[in-house]
A = this chain, B = another copy of it.
Amino acid sequence: MKPIDDIPSKLLCKVNDVELKVDNDTDEVFVKISLVLDTVEVRTPIPNAIHERTKYFTKVLTASDSSTHGGFSILKRHAIECFPPLDMSQPTPSQEIVAKDLNGYEWRFKHIYRGTPKRHLFTTGWSTFATAKKLVAGDSFVFIRGENGESLVGIRRASHQQGNIPSSIITKENIYNGVTASVWNAIKNEDVITVFYKPRSSQFIISLEKFVDAMNKKFDVHSRFTMPFESADFTELRYSGKIVGKKDFSSHWKDSEWRSLEVKWDEAASIPRPDKVSPWEIEHYASPSNILQSALLKNKRSHDSNETGSKLWTHTLTRGQEIGQSSMTSSISVRQRNATDDSKSPSSWLMNHSVPTIPKVNSNDQMVVHVKEKMTTDATASYRLFGVDLMAEDHMEPNGSHQKAIDFKILEEKKLDQIQNLTSPKEIKGKQIISTGSRTKVFMQDRGIGRVVDLTLLDGYNHLINELEKLFDLKDELHMNNHWEIVFKDNEGDVMLVGDDPWPEFCKMVKKIFICSKEKVKIMELAGNKSPESG
């Protein structure tokens, strides 16, 4: 039984059903998608209700908002747009705002207009909410005023924070076997394939349209491209690079285009970027007008091709790729966004801010269209669908105690699975060569976002420390040496103190650099809940 040998690297599917879901613990949204192979008839579902224009606002939490002292500042225009008007004749007008979250729980906030100068605030009720949702500075608060009075609240976490902690008794191998076996069963029995899409982490379902487009583009070695990313504040960043290699990187999955393009980025970036990408993630490098044009074309076609839009390629995940590489590629919060993205449309807006709830998208179109709308919404928003995401383990560097649990997991799995051995030796070597000396990721404890240093531009440890202090705005803290420790993971996966090796040796073997506090953190759980700034 080696189902992997008999499963093609991609499967043409139709969308059978889509369920929007919320993780009850984390408020993380995801979509459960049921797919059938394209040979099977798709059922025709009930038309959708009509989407109405919706008032809403979102605000990235400031340090004050998320601190334990006091409440939440509401921007004036947000208060006016989304809350019932206050009786301004009173000295300190106030009212109670009630709103439900994605789980259906009701939250009550005292909305008060006070202070000198006057401003809008949430006081009573806010800290309960912030504590319950474990909000920290940088996370976002979303408020949607319901037409019927039923308002909604939602959150969106800043950098990619920990999703689900995998049960410690479920190994990656197990999940992997489970997924492949499930897919195989679905193929054999013409059964549905149930998959999960998590925004910003799933990468295994691609809309057929997108896939075909990518195949037609014919990316060759040496050709230049751009790829959209998401910055810390959710805005789009676009980086350009050059394709330097093109092949099947997984021996298990022949003819898989998934991450088949090896790339070199033009410039350094503040966010981590993969060194292998899939054709559908990138665009040919073009002038802005070109981009606009191709966008328009694409938009047009998407309106015509309802049928194809409902079809998806399911990229079967590969052991070497997903399991082996996930730790490298994952923390990348890669949101591809198409230039055609109408970020002003309410539905896409909602998705972007993780308040998908309650499908208000309503059309009289048929299911295919309906699905397609939703899929497109997702696709437009992120261009990545899906995955049984072997997820949490993906995001290994960021902060917090949870993260640590995951780190252990990874280490453990490495030990068990000998992951390194599963990927082809060539691949490993190639990767080392590419990552050596040019771009090295740096992570700092309690900072969710990784940075990158180019060691080839530095001439020694002192220089490196200067650079790190600059990157993380540490002034002289690292040189002062009373709080931080600098360590690195080497090419053998060991974590070593920075400074023991000669500089050139260090540059050759360093994979990632970490800055950690020296302080013994006794209570990991508690420490993990505090915001970096307040702690």
Contact = CB atoms under 8 A, between A and B. Distances in A.
A239 interface: no
Between A391, A416, A485, A514, the greatest number of chain B beta carbons within 10 A of the residue's beta carbon is seen for A416
A481 B176 contact: no
Which bracket fits the contact residues of A?
35 or more
Contacts of A404: 24, 411-412, 415-416
A486 B425 contact: yes
Given A167-B166, A170-B175, A520-B106, A425 B478 contact: yes
Contacts of A484: 425
Nearest to A522: B105
Between A23, A169, A416, the greatest number of chain B beta carbons within 10 A of the residue's beta carbon is seen for A169
Contacts of A475: none
A461 B429 contact: yes
Nearest to A187: B1
A350 to B, nearest CB: 21
A224 interface: no
Contact of A499 (B107, B410, B428, B519): B428
A481 B426 contact: yes
A502 B435 CA distance: 7
Interface in A476-526: 478-479, 481, 484-487, 494-505, 514, 516-526
B411 A495 contact: yes
A424 B465 CA distance: 11
Between A23, A185, A329, A415, the greatest number of chain B beta carbons within 10 A of the residue's beta carbon is seen for A415
Contact of A1 (B3, B128, B485, B533): B3
A66 interface: no
A177 interface: yes
A349 interface: no
Nearest to A436: B502
A164 B167 CA distance: 5
Contacts of A107: 522
A359 interface: no
Nearest to A172: B178
Interface string A429-468: 1011111100101010100111110000000111001000
Contacts of A131: 526
Given A165-B25, A167-B166, A168-B164, A424 B481 contact: yes
B495 A448 contact: yes
A92 interface: no
A409 B452 CA distance: 26
A188 interface: yes
A523 to B, nearest CB: 5
A113 interface: no
A316 interface: no
A408 interface: yes
Given A175-B178, A518-B419, A520-B420, A496 B449 contact: yes
A411 B422 contact: no
Contacts of A414: 487, 495, 514, 516
Contact of A194 (B1, B196, B416, B534): B416
Between A1, A389, A427, the greatest number of chain B beta carbons within 10 A of the residue's beta carbon is seen for A1
B177 A432 contact: no
A373 interface: no
Contact of A177 (B128, B185, B431): B185
A167 B328 contact: yes
Contact of A505 (B165, B389, B439): B439
A249 interface: no
A167 B495 CA distance: 29
A94 interface: no
B449 A487 contact: yes
Contacts of A525: 25, 132
Contact of A168 (B30, B181, B194, B409): B30
A379 interface: no
A465 B432 CA distance: 14
A171 interface: yes
Given A410-B411, A487-B414, A500 B405 contact: no
Contacts of A514: 414-415
A426 B450 CA distance: 24
A407 interface: yes
A389 B106 CA distance: 35
Contacts of A445: 415-416
Contacts of A498: 425, 428
Interface in A326-378: 328-329
Contacts of A449: 485, 487, 495-497
9 contacts: A3-B181, A105-B523, A169-B198, A404-B416, A414-B495, A427-B499, A433-B502, A448-B495, A451-B500
Given A174-B178, A432-B502, 14 more contacts: A1-B1, A1-B184, A24-B405, A106-B520, A164-B168, A170-B388, A181-B181, A412-B524, A419-B516, A426-B481, A433-B501, A449-B497, A450-B494, A452-B500
